[in-house]
Amino acid sequence: MNDTAHTSHITESSGGGHGGRLPALMLAALGIVYGDIGTSPLYTLRECFSGSAGLPMTTASILGVLSLILWALVLVVTVKYVVFIMRADNRGEGGILALMALALRAGAADGRTPRRRRVILALGMTGAALFYGDGMITPAISVLSALEGLEVAEPGFAPLVVPAAVAILIGLFMVQSKGTERVGRLFGPVMLLWFAVLAVMGVAEILHNPGVLRAASPTYAAALAVEAPWLTFVVLGAVVLAVTGGEALYADMGHLGRRPIRIAWAAVVLPALVLNYFGQGALLLRDPEALVNPFYHLAPSWGTVPLLILATAATIIASQAVISGAFSLSRQAVQLGLIPRLEIRHTSTQEIGQIYAPRINWLLLAAVLALVVGFRSSSNLAAAYGIAVTGTMVATTLLAAWVVRHLWHWPLAATAAVIVPFLVIDTLFFAANTLKIAEGGWFPLVVGAGAFVVMMTWLQGRRILYDRLYADALPTDLFLERLRPESPMRVAGTAIFLTGNPAVVPHALLHNMKHNKVLHERVLLLHVALAEVPFVLPDRRVEVEKLGKGFFRVVLRFGFMERPDVPMALDRCRAYGLHIDLMESSFFLGRETLIPSPHAGLPRWQEPLFISLSKSMQPATGFFNLPPGRVVELGTQIEI
């Protein structure tokens, strides 16, 4: 990982020219970004009529639902995400946590109160927590919906759907540690074929009933809402399935840039989706019995098996994108201090974004398998799907409002004119999905609540721990004033003390002096600052201050999309006249042992959770890439 790469990455992601790379980046966008939303036709229209809404299968209702789906794609995905939200990039990066960091920066610039900062954090954590629920449901519902084509090909194969889904998902999660660099090259072409097939199947059916194209008029959606307002509201809980994956456009902006994602959506994805949905609608107008699986019934009988194979490949790609997104989100959450340090492995020497988080991988697999075995069909899972997606959409809109108002400095009237319509749509979708809590919507809420509690506990606990560690710490300036040449004895070499507060003397340094009675001839007080930006520019990476008496204060800065490689960053100290030979240096780390206290700042029920999270944290040696043979740990007991 080098800073030159980061600089080009930021420039490109910010929407600059891509030249001859544009077609390749568009193809990559089809594979990386659009897998989730691209596989929604497998189940969306079916759920609008066979779900809890209970809409009658009339011409008016079919055209009305098609109109709702079309305008959801236009207003939510195209206008909100593609046109508007993707403008809110955090130095080229997108996603709910990148937007949260941007909003935090806007609040800091305006001198906002800690209370408002907590609100921004809560919104970001809520969106991130719900994303984990989405990340569990997407692989399960996608693969199940594809394999349900077995029932169309041969009804006797129905019992094989769940075992086949379990086998495919286990295989998918097991290969994550190998990386997806080689397989990923196939994702774009496969998804291009998938969208082409979606369009062709839709057009073939539309030609039999061109009248279905009348649904392009929003008057049909409005008429449905007027004639059956409650049923229309309920069916919104299924219509939202058509826009799942909209967040991926924003989250993957840093990998590909705005322009390829936008062009791929307008030129390929949106037309293919609309044609397929309208083709399914035309089929239902002609043959209502096809509702059992309108997607597979669009294909001729000879094409069912090839379509099944292609659909399974597409859903695996959609699942892979969500799994990779969960890894990326977890890394960002660690860097932003929302969850404990996790083991993150880089699976590619070329792409910084290709990572593997073992603990997240196996937790996701366990949850996905439980969903497949517990719910057993995509229809049952559809009830659980929408609430996680819509919750994240609401959080994104609220954070965007803060950025627009306080970072872009839009007038209040202009901010309201843009944000309020989006918020109304998102809230309607979310409210419609709350009706499905008892049917399965409870699952992402439980997962989201659990993830939120973990993040909140970690944030509060670390703040209390920081206060306990540094409340009575000795200021560095005062320590150096009292330091005498004759005592303690200075020994050869360099001692590097990692500290959370570079203005005070680390506990590890005082413990080392107390027990070993020595001080190295050169001492670095090293502070690693994890910034609320995705990448730190090269000239901002290192800050060196000479304190005198052989002491140096060194600050290393890393963004939340970067790997905090301390040895590599320390090599940059040469530019400041500080040459560090790692083989002649020792890293001193403080290791805190936490014990419950009757006077803890945390609520009693949170104490054991925070202590457990602290014990599960990846050691600093691995997280900061420190040479293991050069690390000394000094322990301290702290009541929490």
Q: Degrees (nearest 5) of the Cα angle 381, 398, 224?
A: 55
Query: Of all residues in the chain, what percent carry a pLDDT higher than 70?
Result: 92
* Local structure of 137: helix, strand or coil: helix
Q: Which range has the worst mean pLDDT, 58-62, 235-239, 471-475, 619-623? A: 471-475
Write out pLDDT tens, residues 31-56.
888 988 999 999 999 999 986 666 88
* pLDDT for the residue 247: 81
Write out pLDDT tens, residues 115-149.
788 899 999 999 999 988 888 998 999 999 999 98
* pLDDT for the residue 2: 36
Q: Which range has the worst mean pLDDT, 34-43, 178-187, 559-568? A: 178-187
| Partner residues linked to 586 by β-bridges | 495
Write out pLDDT tens, residues 221-258.
999 999 999 999 999 999 999 998 888 788 888 777 88
Most confident of 55-64, 91-100, 349-358, 596-605: 55-64
What number is the average pLDDT over the span 454-475? 88
* pLDDT for the residue 306: 94
Over 60: is that where the pLDDT of 198 sits? yes
Closest by CA position to 76, among listed 275, 294, 241: 241
Q: Which range has the worst mean pLDDT, 8-22, 308-322, 469-483? A: 8-22
Q: What tokens does 72 get?
A: 């959801």
Q: Using pLDDT thresholds of 50, 70 and 90, give the confidence band for residue 20.
A: low
Q: Is the peptide bond before 488 cis (omega within 30 degrees of 0)?
A: yes
Q: What tokens does 319 get?
A: 């699942």
Q: Using pLDDT thresholds of 50, 70 and 90, give the confidence band for residue 1.
A: very low
Q: Which range has the worst mean pLDDT, 15-29, 355-369, 423-437? A: 15-29
Q: What tokens does 337 get?
A: 């201090």
Higher-confidence residue of 354 and 409: namely 409
* Local structure of 492: helix, strand or coil: strand
d(CA 314, CA 303): 16
Closest by CA position to 62, among listed 234, 291, 240: 291
Q: Which residue has the tokens 């050691």?
A: 619
Q: Which range has the worst mean pLDDT, 37-41, 107-111, 192-196? A: 107-111
* pLDDT for the residue 468: 83
Closest by CA position to 279, among listed 294, 265, 266: 294
Domains of the chain are: 3-460 (1.20.1740.10), 472-639 (no CATH)
Query: Of all residues in the chain, what percent carry a pLDDT higher than 90?
Result: 50
* Local structure of 405: helix, strand or coil: helix
Q: How many CB atoms lie within 10 A of CB 399?
A: 27
Is the four-CA dihedral 259, 261, 262, 264 of positive or negative sign? positive
Over 70: is that where the pLDDT of 7 sits? no
d(CA 116, CA 562): 27
List of residues 6+ apart from 422 with CB closer than 8 A: 80, 84, 397, 400
Q: Using pLDDT thresholds of 50, 70 and 90, give the confidence band for residue 585.
A: very high
* pLDDT for the residue 182: 57
Higher-confidence residue of 519 and 603: namely 519
Write out pLDDT tens, residues 385-414.
888 889 999 999 999 999 999 889 999 999
Write out pLDDT tens, residues 259-300.
999 999 999 999 999 999 999 999 999 999 999 999 999 999
* pLDDT for the residue 246: 83
Over 70: is that where the pLDDT of 430 sits? yes
* pLDDT for the residue 9: 34
List of residues 6+ apart from 559 with CB closer than 8 A: 91, 335, 530, 531, 533, 534, 535, 536
Look over the chain and give the mean of its residue pLDDT values, rounded to a whole number: 87
Closest by CA position to 87, among listed 108, 102, 106: 102
- Output the 3-class SS for 270-301: HHHHHHHHHHHHHHHHHCHHHHHCHHHHCCCH
Over 80: is that where the pLDDT of 312 sits? yes
What number is the average pLDDT over the span 87-100? 86
What number is the average pLDDT over the span 570-578? 90
Over 90: is that where the pLDDT of 208 sits? yes
Most confident of 66-75, 84-93, 386-395: 66-75
Q: Could you give the C-alpha distances from 389 to 149, 243, 333, 360, in angstroms and in order?
A: 25, 9, 19, 20
* pLDDT for the residue 365: 94
